[in-house]
A and B are shown apart, each in its own frame.
Chain A
Amino acid sequence: MRERIIMPLLVIVAATLAAAMAASQSAPPTLPDIPNPKVVVEAPEIGKFGGTYIVSSISDPRTFNPIVAQETSSTGVTGAIFEGLVEQNYLTGEIEPGLAESWTTSPDGRTWTFTLRQGVRWTDGTPLTMDDVLFSLEAVFTDGVQTSTVDLLTIEDKPIRWRKVDDRRIAFMTDKPVGTFLRLIGSLDIIPKHKLGDALAKGGAEFNKTYGIDTPPREIVGTGLFILQSYVPGQRVTLLRNPNYWKVDRQGNRLPYLTRYVILIVPNLEAARLKFLAKETDLYSARAREFAEFKQGEQAGNYTIHDGPETFSSEFLVFNQNPTGVAPPKLTWFQDVRFRRALNYAIDRKTIAEQVYAGRASPAWGPESTGNTLYYNPKLPQYPYDTGRAQQLLAEAGYQKGSEGLLRDAQGNIVEFIISTNAGNTDREAIGNIVRQDFTKLGIRVTFAPEAFNTLVGKLTGTFKWEAVIIGLTGGIEPVTGRNVWLSSGSLHMWWPKQEKPATEWEVEIDRLFERATAEINQNRRRQLYFQYQEVVATQVPMMFFTNPKTQPAVRNTLGNIKLGLQGVPGELETLYQKTTSRP
């Protein structure tokens, strides 16, 4: 009896499953002009077409030339117009197909072959061809062209090589296998040869000036989701939907949904905040201390403030270990890992998180942020705030607190140093004051002296005459892109730049780990190498990281497809949409 019921049930279940599978395996969407459009699957909803999305920026774009563009005010615009062969998934950080629909790697990991997507056109109607890709590479490697991409595409002092295989395929060759190749090649924006060829022929300096902010908008031709409509200096950048874009949603609708994307240029963060609260913009990246206040205003302001993940950057304290910059006894202390570890225990990260970031920051023990979900090592040695432990470690290393309450080293020198940072950065100044108090508790005589940014950079990269500095660096997903900082030969190897031979065993170890990670193609094995490097840094503490501040984007409720990604990015421009298109 029971079997008779179960059998039909099974049949029904099986039939449903089969139907579902058939549906999901149904032919991928195509477009009349593009046989293989990319399907964007991250967006939770199918959106509505139309609408304007307005954001604010506190500075003007400096160029519309994506090869030359450096800072976010420019790349924020060029990123919507130009694209690379591959692109990064904003949720996971993984590399996905872009203008290249697929790629293969040779077994030795030294040759990468990319296949160009068919049917993609520049916004002036000219087809995108392999010549454009070759031209973009040529531009990056032309003498005098001002770009940081050349540094990414130069591996151990050797530029990558390339060869056009056929009209749709290009092969890249490197002397050694390069594990991060996909991410590196993703940094290359493809530019139109038919528009920029003449300028490049005249040399690098001329190329740097083309597609400047004085270019008539219709001259700027990309493959991206938006087209530049107008730029009014000091006021706004207006972009319009590219009707021939090569991405579709799950139902095969051509993206993007938005008709217009506007970047308002505002003089400062205060103005950005007022504009958001007055409902003139749709997005505001709130500062940590504004979180509570914005939370209260959610209903009245018709927005939601999100509890976002950590950014990739972190402020840190670094001691100068460079003999050209400091002399003993200070050099001896700074080079002594026991001294550095003791001081690391004395840093009250909880207070920093509370006072500087209103509680919206996690303690940082190593160089990679908690927000870098791909490569963050959660099992690093930690240095929780413990003055007693710090004192004990200092005593073991021969430092004694004298009767007058000052810490002295084994030779009887009073331990004193100057911490600097760039004046005007209120976060760093606040951290500096907390750290100064923490170290004073150990009997150390600390002077905290912020100075002008330019002066500070001059000391860090030029004269090397400094003792301790609080500063931060921008970070990427893949730690090897920070080789300038971590290799002992790097020019930004903060504590002792441009060493001819690594000064310590552990620096040898980091150099070796970076070399291996660069070559490692298997992402899991590369992750293991990155974990080791983070462990060495956390054990040797050449830099004392404070906290990873969290993001708190406030987004207007009229926007659909909001799903927070890495570093608190609220969504993808491709799939964001206005639920009520009251605004044209």
Chain B
Amino acid sequence: MLQLIPMLLGITVMSFVIIQLSPGDFLAEIRLNPIVSQETVDRMRTNFGLDQPLHVQYLRWLTNIVRGDFGYSFAYQVPVLWLVRSRLFNTLLLNIIALIVAWAIGIPIGIHAATHQYSWSDNLLSLFSYVGISTPTFFSGLLLLFVAFKTGWLPIGGMTSLDYDLFPWYGKAFDVARHLVIPVMVLGVLAVAGLTRQMRANLLEVLRQDYVKTARAKGLAERVVVNKHAVRNAINPLITIFGFELGGLLSGSAILEVVIGWPGLGQLILDAVVRKDLYVVMGSLVIGGVTLVLGNLIADILLAYSDPRIRYD
């Protein structure tokens, strides 16, 4: 675990330098405002500490991070952590539900496809998977928004309705659920497509193994052979994928969020990068890095649990 700290540090140094070396800074837009004088712009630069040398800025930021202070957003003049917190739950909610849906659908379908290889249902599912994998989220997101607009069955983007605050708790839950349908479908279909292919390939591989033959030979029911022996062995690589997906919980839906107006971290970060709102970008990078590391850690623990042959010393 400890070797991860230099890696995180490296990431932050690189990002900091790249952001700062690219031309322009947060004040570019203000510079073109006819009523703002040069002196005012200079004062703002000093206020933000942007007039300091690069290494001073970085070290100052780093020491604050260690103390848990992620700094202030230039654009919003509020703590970066407040900005992140105000949107964190929304992104997590969307991604976790999409994750659950994807795994709940993807794994059984993958098993079905592997045990019915080359049947008409397998072929059909393969076709769906290829279409799912190759459709970018922004496209399917826009398409579904358009369907929602034409039919009026679902809300057009966003997360809650206008009168959300006036609803009782079950009304609130229902309202958010309605808004979740489109993004969860988009993210879910993409993930299901990938998972199905993975699960199918792994399971086919395992079903060819000798111990499966042995199991069948000793007269076990096919259901037990598949579910108890084959799937248990085929799932290992998927647990690694699961770890990556956990790491992407905060960033995986960024593009989709921007397309459908889901008030999550994606929009915030994209906006910050475009505007060069330095500490928001850096803060979200750190948080993203940490979740990736945590996701991998959880995957490793799960692997050890699922496969007794794996041991960490």
Residues of A within 8 A of B (CB): 52, 54, 59, 62-63, 65, 68, 70-71, 144, 146-148, 150-152, 154, 204-205, 208-209, 212-214, 230, 232-236, 262, 264-268, 271, 274-275, 277-278, 280, 452-455, 457-458, 460-461, 471, 473-476, 481-485, 491-492, 498, 584
Residues of A within 8 A of B90 (CB): 234
Docked complex: B48-91 residues within 8 A CB-CB of A = 72, 75-79, 82-83, 86-87, 90
Bound form: Cα–Cα A265–B261 in Å: 8
The answer, yes or no, to whether B134 is at the interface (CB within 8 Å) is no
- Nearest chain A residue, comparing its CB with the CB of B82: A214
- The minimal Cβ–Cβ distance linking B275 to chain A, given in whole angstroms, is 10
Nearest A residue to B260, CB-CB: A267
Closest chain-A Cβ to B185's Cβ sits at a distance in Å of 18
Question: 1/0 per position for B199-237, CB-CB distance to A under 8 A?
Answer: 000000000000000000000000000000000000000
Q: How far is the CB of A78 from chain B (nearest CB, A)?
A: 14
Please report which residues of chain B, range 236-274, place their CB below 8 angstroms from some CB of chain A when the two chains form the complex: 257-264, 267-268, 271
CB atoms of A452 and B36 under 8 A apart:
no
A491 to B41, CA, bound (A): 11
Q: Is the CB of A234 within 8 A of B24?
A: no
Q: A-facing mask of B16-40, CB < 8 A → 1, else 0?
A: 0000001111001111111111101
A62-B77 contact given A271-B157, A457-B28, CB 8 Å threshold: yes
Contact of A484 among B35, B76, B156 (CB under 8 A): B35
Given contacts A146-B47, A152-B35, A458-B24, contact A267 B267 (CB under 8 A): yes
Residue of chain A at shortest CB distance from B86: A233
A255 to chain B, nearest CB (A): 23
User: Which of B93-101, B114-122, B159-167, B282-290 is near enough to bind chain A?
Assistant: B159-167
In this complex, what residue of B is CB-closest to A209?
B77
The answer to whether B263 touches A232, judged by C-beta atoms less than 8 angstroms apart, is yes
- Using Cβ atoms and an 8 Å threshold, which residues of chain B touch A234? 87, 90, 159, 261-264, 267-268
A484 and B258 contact, CB distance less than 8 A:
no
Bound complex: CA A148 to CA B149 (Å): 41
CB <8 Å contact, B75 and A62: yes
Contact B44 A146 (CB under 8 A): yes
**Given A233-B86, A278-B152, also A484-B24 (CB < 8 A):** no
B34 & A492 in contact (Cβ 8 Å cutoff): yes
Q: What is the minimal beta-carbon distance from A525 to any residue of chain B, in angstroms? A: 23
Contacts of A233 in B (CB 8 A): 83, 86-87, 263
B23 pairs with A482, CB closer than 8 A: no
* Residues A232 and B160 in contact, CB atoms below 8 Å apart: yes
B23 touches A454 (CB 8 A): yes
Q: Nearest Cβ in chain A — how far from B11, in angstroms? A: 23
**With a CB–CB cut-off of 8 A, which chain A residues contact B72?**
209
Task: Return the contact of B77 from the options A63, A453, A484, A498 (Cβ within 8 A).
Answer: A63
Name 27 A/B residue pairs within 8 A (Cβ), A-sorted. A70-B30, A70-B33, A71-B29, A144-B47, A146-B43, A146-B77, A148-B33, A148-B36, A204-B47, A209-B77, A212-B78, A233-B263, A234-B261, A266-B158, A267-B259, A271-B145, A271-B156, A277-B149, A454-B276, A458-B23, A458-B28, A460-B31, A461-B32, A481-B34, A484-B35, A491-B37, A498-B38
| Extra inter-chain contacts (20) besides given A151-B37, A457-B29, CB under 8 Å | A144-B47, A148-B35, A151-B36, A209-B72, A214-B86, A230-B165, A264-B158, A265-B263, A266-B158, A271-B145, A274-B156, A280-B156, A453-B24, A453-B28, A454-B23, A474-B34, A481-B34, A482-B34, A483-B34, A584-B163
Contacts of B41 in A (CB 8 A): 491
**A473 near B162: Cβ-Cβ < 8 Å:** no
- Bound form: Cα–Cα A232–B267 in Å: 14
Chain A residues positioned under 8 Å from B44 (CB to CB): 146
State whether A151 touches B35 (Cβ < 8 A): yes
State in angstroms the CA–CA spacing of A71 and B29 once bound together: 10
Which one of A265, A266, A271 has the greatest number of beta carbons of chain B within 10 Å? A271
Contact indicator B149/A235 (Cβ below 8 Å): no
Contacts of A452 in B (CB 8 A): 23-24
Chain A residues whose CB sits within 8 angstroms of the CB of B276 once the complex forms: 454
- Check if B23 sits within 8 Å of A212, measured CB to CB: no
Contact call B149/A473, Cβ cutoff below 8 A: no
Residues of A within 8 A of B35 (CB): 148, 151-152, 476, 481-482, 484
Q: In the complex, which residues 143-194 of chain B have their Cβ closer than 8 Å to any Cβ of chain A?
A: 145-146, 149, 152, 156-160, 162-163, 165
Residue of A nearest to B40 (CB): A151
Asked if A235 contacts B22 (CB within 8 A), the reply is no
| Beta-carbon contact of B40 and A150 below 8 Å | yes
Interface contact tally, CB-CB below 8 A: 154
Inter-chain CA distance A322–B229, complex, in Å, is 78
Query: In the complex, how many angstroms separate the beta carbon of B292 from the nearest chain A beta carbon?
Result: 24
**Interface majority SS (helix, strand, loop, mixed), chain A:** mixed
Q: A267-B259, A267-B260, A278-B149 are in contact. Are A484 and B37 (CB under 8 A)?
A: yes
B79 partner residues in chain A, CB cutoff 8 A: 214
Contact A473 B32, CB 8 Å, known A151-B40, A234-B267: yes
Provide the bound-state CA to CA distance between A151 and B44, in Å: 13
Check if B34 sits within 8 Å of A484, measured CB to CB. Answer: yes
A584 and B271 alpha carbons, distance in the complex (Å):
34
**B36 contacts A461, C-beta separation under 8 Å:** no
Give A471 to B41 CA distance when docked, in angstroms: 20
Pairwise interchain contact A68-B77, C-beta atoms closer than 8 A: yes
Q: Is the CB of B149 within 8 A of A267?
A: no
- Contact status of A457 and B32, CB under 8 A, knowing A232-B263, A233-B263: yes
Contact (Cβ within 8 A) A267 B261: yes
Q: Contact check: which of B25, B43, B77, B160 meets A235 at CB < 8 Å?
A: B160
Chain A residues, CB < 8 A from B257: 267
List 7 tightest A-B contacts by C-beta distance, closest first. A454-B24, A234-B263, A491-B38, A267-B261, A457-B28, A455-B23, A482-B34
Chain B residues whose C-beta falls within 8 Å of the C-beta of A481 in the assembled complex:
34-35
Query: Closest Cβ of chain B: how far from A576's Cβ, in Å?
Result: 18
A239 to B123, CA, bound (A): 55
Nearest neighbor of A459 in chain B, beta-carbon distance: B23
Q: Which residues of B are found within 8 Å of A275, using beta-carbon distances?
A: 156-157
Q: How far is the CA of A492 from the CA of B38 in the complex (A)?
A: 9
Q: Which residues of A contact B87 (CB under 8 A)?
A: 233-234
Cβ contacts under 8 Å, A265 to chain B: 261, 263
Nearest CB in chain B: distance from A464 CB, A? 13
**Cα–Cα distance between A147 and B33 once the two chains are bound (Å):** 12
Q: How far is the CA of A269 from the CA of B67 in the complex (A)?
A: 41
Q: Select which of A262, A475, A485 is within 8 A of B162 by beta carbon.
A: A262
Note all chain A residues with C-beta closer than 8 A to B76. 62-63, 212-213
> Are B32 and A492 in contact, CB atoms less than 8 angstroms apart?
yes
Of A262, A457, A475, most buried by chain B (CB within 10 Å of CB) is A457
Residues of A within 8 A of B260 (CB): 267, 271
The interface residues of chain A lying within 8 Å CB-to-CB of B152 are 278
For residue A268, which residues in chain B have a CB less than 8 angstroms away from its CB? 258
Q: When A148-B33, A233-B86, A491-B38 are in contact, do A267 and B43 touch as well, CB less than 8 Å?
A: no
Given A146-B47, A267-B261, A454-B22, A235:B158 Cβ within 8 A? yes
Most buried by A among B41, B43, B146, B157: B157
| CA A482 to CA B160, docked complex, whole Å | 42
- Residues of A with C-beta under 8 A to B271: 59
Q: Which residues of A contact B47 (CB under 8 A)?
A: 144, 146, 204-205, 208
Is the pair A209, B149 in contact by a Cβ cutoff of 8 Å? no
Distance A458 CA – B90 CA, assembled complex (angstroms): 37
Q: How far apart are the CA atoms of A580 and B76 in the complex, in Å? A: 38
Complexed CA–CA distance, A262 and B79 (Å): 26
Contact B36 A266 (CB under 8 A): no
Chain A residues in 8 Å Cβ range of B156: 271, 274-275, 278, 280
CA distance in complex: A492, B33 (Å):
8
Given A152-B35, A233-B87, A491-B38, A144 and B264 contact (CB-CB distance below 8 Å)? no
Q: How far is it, in angstroms, between the C-alpha of A62 and the C-alpha of B156 when the chains are bound?
A: 25
Check B30–A274 contact: CB distance below 8 A.
Answer: no
Closest Cβ of chain A to B256, distance in Å, is 10
